[in-house]
Amino acid sequence: MKIKKYRTMLKMNVPPGAVRHKMISEQVGEHLIEGLLGTEVAGPKRASSVRRFKGSTPTKGLSKAQDRRRSLVNLHWTKLDSERLENSIWGQVGAKKKHGSESSGDEGSVTTVEADISTLEQLFRKKNAATKRGQGKGSAGAKKGSAKLVEANRANNVAISLKAFKDFEQPAGLVSAIADLDPDRKIVGDRIQFLRNMLPTAQELRDVAKYQGDGSDLLPAELFFREMLKVKRIELKVQAMHTMDILPPQTEELRQKFRILANISQQAMESDRLKQLLETVLSIGNIMNEGTMKGGASGFKMDSLLKLTQTKSVDGKMTVLDYIGEIYINKNQREILDLSSEFPEIQAASKLLLQEMIGEVKTLTGDLNVCKKELVRMKNEAKDYIVRSPGIVRLETFIKDVMNKVKLLEGERDTAIQKCKDISKYFGEDGGEEMAISIFGILFEFTKLLKSAAKKCDQRKLAEEKAAKRERLKREKQQAKLKATKKKNSVVNARSAILSAEKAENKPLLDRDPRSAMLKAIASRKKKSNAGGDPRAAMLTAIASVKQKSGNSDDHSSESSSEGLDKNV
């Protein structure tokens, strides 16, 4: 008799009592049961079965496997289900173990190298494990969660999610609502996502299906999974609920996005401002590239618009785009630079991903088909008196209402795709509809660059006006200063003339009369004569001085004075 599957059950933490019951029901030999699980013992403080290994001392109420499970730290890994084990390396390992067991002739042997196990227990024992075992000593009956059908963290996460469904009777009420597609529409929004995350895997369902107990030792997550075993196609039903919740708003959102793409494409192709700007760029570019391989162009790729800011003037203060902006502003045609008003949704269009949107439509259509198939199955499974169950009615009504919306969505998708192809062709670009999104991104950046160029032009003009004003004020100040200086000098000159006149008027009579000067000279001559000088030379010098000072005085008067002096001498 092979006992491999019972060992597997123990490894999967199936309670030993359940394994023993399974082996007895399948008429496994007693010696094999004892070899695998030990001798069943009933104690005064513990009614549950324990296993005793050959050659080992039984622990107080716990088997070796149970003792290890509680005392050793857990190894983190993800178990493979039985379907994936086949034809894998793990299947080869299992076959090798099986072959070794049969060749030894000891089918009931469950022991391993005790020395290795002992070392393992010493190295990886939980802290304070002995204390925890002591606290549990003498407990009677099965402990909640002792079945361990679901991994601890997973069970904890499911239990937390179940708290979002407190308005349902747990777990039967919640599972019953799922089975009939939540006719009261209480499971919506985040609750749908919680429910999707809570769904058991195929392996978890198989583990729970093997459980034979009454459920007293199961955790809330395990009870929830066990209840789900009663529902057919649980995943498809939850998916149908999810589709009914999200498909209407997603359909409307996608329709709006496709409309944006179609509208922007049409607006760009009909924009006279954009056409005029492109013509201006082409003319300026051909002038600048004249005589080169790039000259004589009849058109250019759209991404060239973003390079207009890379070519700068000699002084480095102006780009080609700044120059273009200045041209239109100087011509009082500033409105041509305002492309954003021509297609206001260009930014939104530049962020859309057309292929992703097409994929979403395909997904929604597939989800709708799943709902249709589930409706057919539910009707086929329903009895006559529940053929119109609330869940079936809800799903049938939903499919009828949403079909028209999906058709409208598909129509707007096709229109947007065609418009995107048209705009790519309009601008001479390759890539079909996929290139349209790149064109929208370029146009969005170009609108921002035009705004920046217009702003720089305004700032430059304002700076020039301020500089001209400063220069004018400086010049006016200098002129005022020069005028004030001239006025000051004229006043000073006038004042000097007046003072000179006043001084001349205030001179003594002798200073103004040449005859008085002559008398002074005679007096001086006498003084010098007394000092021993030449009186005649001094007299002649005095006469010459008098003549010089008198200027244009009467010659007759001078001669008379001289003759008088000679007589006196």
Query: Residues near 108 by Cβ (< 8 Å), separated by ≥ 6?
Result: 3, 31, 32, 34, 35, 36
Question: How far is it, in rounded angstroms, from Cα 134 to Cα 115?
Answer: 25
Considering the chain, what is the average pLDDT of its residues? 77
Cis peptide before 390 (omega within 30 of 0): no
Lowest mean pLDDT among 161-170, 231-240, 392-401: 161-170
Question: How far is it, in rounded angstroms, from Cα 6 to Cα 9?
Answer: 5
Nearest to 221 by CA among 284, 154, 301: 154
pTM given for the model? 0.59
Task: Using a pLDDT cut of 90, give the percent of the chain over it.
Answer: 32
Could you tell me the pLDDT band of residue 492, with boundaries at 50, 70 and 90?
confident
Burial string for 285-312 (b: 16+ CB within 10 Å, else e) reads: beeeeeeeeeeeeeebebeebeebeeee
Per residue in 405-439, pLDDT tens? 999 999 999 999 999 999 999 999 988 898 999 99
Nearest to 139 by CA among 70, 81, 79, 219: 70
Nearest to 237 by CA among 377, 137, 445: 377
Lowest mean pLDDT among 106-110, 177-181, 256-260, 413-417: 106-110
DSSP one-letter code for 200: P
Using alpha carbons, list the distances in angstroms from residue 426 to 245, 296, 447. 41, 21, 19
Per residue in 103-138, pLDDT tens? 444 444 444 444 466 666 666 676 654 444 444 443
Count of C-beta atoms within a 10 Å radius of residue 489: 10
Q: What is the pLDDT of residue 403?
A: 94
Could you tell me the pLDDT band of residue 315, with boundaries at 50, 70 and 90?
confident
More confident residue, 513 or 152: 152
Question: How far is it, in rounded angstroms, from Cα 113 to Cα 100?
Answer: 15
Q: What is the pLDDT of residue 239?
A: 94
Residue 237 above 50 pLDDT? yes
Question: How far is it, in rounded angstroms, from Cα 379 to Cα 369?
Answer: 16
Residues in the chain, total: 569
Lowest mean pLDDT among 3-7, 470-474, 564-568: 564-568
Residue 34 above 80 pLDDT? no
Q: What is the pLDDT of residue 217?
A: 85
Burial string for 113-128 (b: 16+ CB within 10 Å, else e) reads: eeeeeeeeeeeeeeee
Could you tell me the pLDDT band of residue 224, with boundaries at 50, 70 and 90?
very high
Lowest mean pLDDT among 115-129, 247-261, 450-464, 479-493: 115-129
Could you tell me the pLDDT band of residue 485, with boundaries at 50, 70 and 90?
confident
Q: What is the pLDDT of residue 92?
A: 60
- The helix/strand/coil state of 72 is strand
Instruction: Read off φ and ψ for residue 319, nearest 5 degrees.
Output: -100, 170
Q: What is the pLDDT of residue 406?
A: 95
Could you tell me the pLDDT band of residue 258, with boundaries at 50, 70 and 90?
very high
**561: which 2 tokens?**
């004075």
Count of C-beta atoms within a 10 Å radius of residue 8: 13
Amino acid, single-letter form, for residue 272: D
Per residue in 65-100, pLDDT tens? 556 555 676 665 666 666 656 656 666 655 555 555
Q: How far apart are the first and last CA of the chain?
A: 186
Q: What is the pLDDT of residue 470?
A: 87
Per residue in 331-361, pLDDT tens? 999 999 999 899 999 999 999 999 999 999 9
Question: How far is it, in rounded angstroms, from Cα 304 to Cα 488?
Answer: 66
Q: What is the mean pLDDT of residues 211-216?
A: 84
Could you tell me the pLDDT band of residue 539, with boundaries at 50, 70 and 90?
low
**300: which 2 tokens?**
């250019």
Lowest mean pLDDT among 34-38, 255-259, 343-347, 554-558: 554-558
Query: Residues near 327 by Cβ (< 8 Å), separated by ≥ 6?
Result: 280
**Tokens 């859309």 -> residue:** 352
